[in-house]
């Protein structure tokens, strides 16, 4: 979902290059050691963070981990940054760039979890290659995930969910968890769920939330 440009957000992003990496050159290696206090900590990445409720909540809950929010829109990056600064989330970095270059932004076997939350479904067949669960993206995720790493995916779009299950299955992935109504799962599952802004909106309308965890490791 495209956000209306907010001048304050764009200004904030430009004022904080230490927290927001803007349009990095995929051909140049990113020195993450300089952007985190301790880059040896486990790393988790959210692709398409929107306003950042999900990733900033995670970063606050798990200070022993590092997080990167990949977001293409400058205004969205600014909204995430505002929360990061307000909550002093030193374990969160924001990368304003194209997720298609994720395997060039991060080293092989460098991240434990990749989160895909309420991605654009790109429903038209001719746009299939833009879907974040298209096989080309899966190949890139596999490259940057550790051997025991996995993908966590949520959507309210039944078509994208069905497509993603098929795409991942065809890629040979293993499904660790699948739900067609996440908000009505067992309490131990729903209590751990961190809702995004869009998730709250969709669930309030009575839409079921689809979710899955999938890994590349054969089990």
In a domain, 1, yes or no: no
Amino acid 3: pLDDT: 77
Could you tell me if residue 69 is inside a domain? Answer: yes
CATH number of 87's domain: 3.40.50.150
User: Could you read off the pLDDT of 198-209 as tens digits, one per residue?
Assistant: 899 889 998 899
pLDDT at 10: 94
147 has a pLDDT exceeding 90: yes
Does 100 fall in a domain?
yes
Strand partners, 43: 66
Residue 33 is a catalytic residue: no
Q: Is residue 123 part of a domain?
A: yes
93: in domain? yes
Is residue 92 one of the residues assigned to a domain? yes
Mean pLDDT of the region 87-102:
97
Instruction: Answer whether residue 218 shows pLDDT above 60.
Output: no
Query: What pLDDT sits at residue 2?
Result: 67
Establish if 2 belongs to a structural domain: no
Number of domains in the chain: 1
Active-site residue (options: 31, 33, 98, 120): 120
> Whole domain around residue 74: which residue ranges?
7-215
pTM: 0.95
**Mean pLDDT score of the chain, rounded to an integer?**
95
The 10s digit of each residue's pLDDT in 4-39 is 888 999 999 999 999 999 999 999 999 999 999 999
CB 18 within 8 A of CB 89: no
For residue 219, the model assigns a pLDDT of 43
Residue 136 lies in a domain: yes
pLDDT in tens, 26-82: 999 999 999 999 999 999 999 999 999 999 999 999 999 999 999 999 999 999 999
Average pLDDT over residues 117-126: 96
Contact (CB, 8 A) for 199 and 156 = yes
Whether pLDDT at 217 is above 90 = no
**pLDDT for res 4:** 82
Residue 1's pLDDT is what?
59
């Amino acid at each position: 979902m495209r956000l209306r440009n907010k001048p304050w957000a764009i200004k904030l992003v430009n004022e904080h290059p230490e927290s927001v990496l803007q349009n990095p050159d995929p051909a140049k290696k990113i020195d993450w050691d300089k952007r985190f206090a301790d880059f040896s900590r486990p790393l988790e990445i959210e692709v398409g963070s929107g306003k950042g409720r999900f990733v900033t909540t995670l970063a606050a809950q798990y200070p022993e981990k590092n997080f990167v929010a990949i977001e293409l829109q400058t205004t969205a990056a600014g909204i995430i940054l505002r929360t990061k600064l307000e909550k002093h989330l030193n374990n969160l970095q924001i990368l304003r760039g194209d997720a298609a270059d994720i395997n060039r932004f991060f080293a092989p076997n460098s991240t434990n979890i990749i989160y895909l939350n309420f991605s654009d479904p790109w429903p038209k067949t001719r746009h299939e290659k833009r879907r974040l669960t298209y096989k080309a993206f899966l190949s890139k995720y596999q490259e940057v995930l550790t051997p025991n790493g996995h993908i966590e995916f949520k959507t309210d779009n039944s078509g994208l969910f069905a497509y993603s299950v098929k795409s991942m299955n065809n890629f040979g992935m293993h499904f660790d968890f699948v739900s067609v109504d996440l908000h009505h799962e067992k309490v131990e599952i729903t209590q751990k769920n961190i809702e995004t802004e869009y998730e709250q909106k969709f669930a309030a309308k009575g839409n079921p939330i689809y979710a899955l965890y999938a890994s590349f490791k054969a089990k």
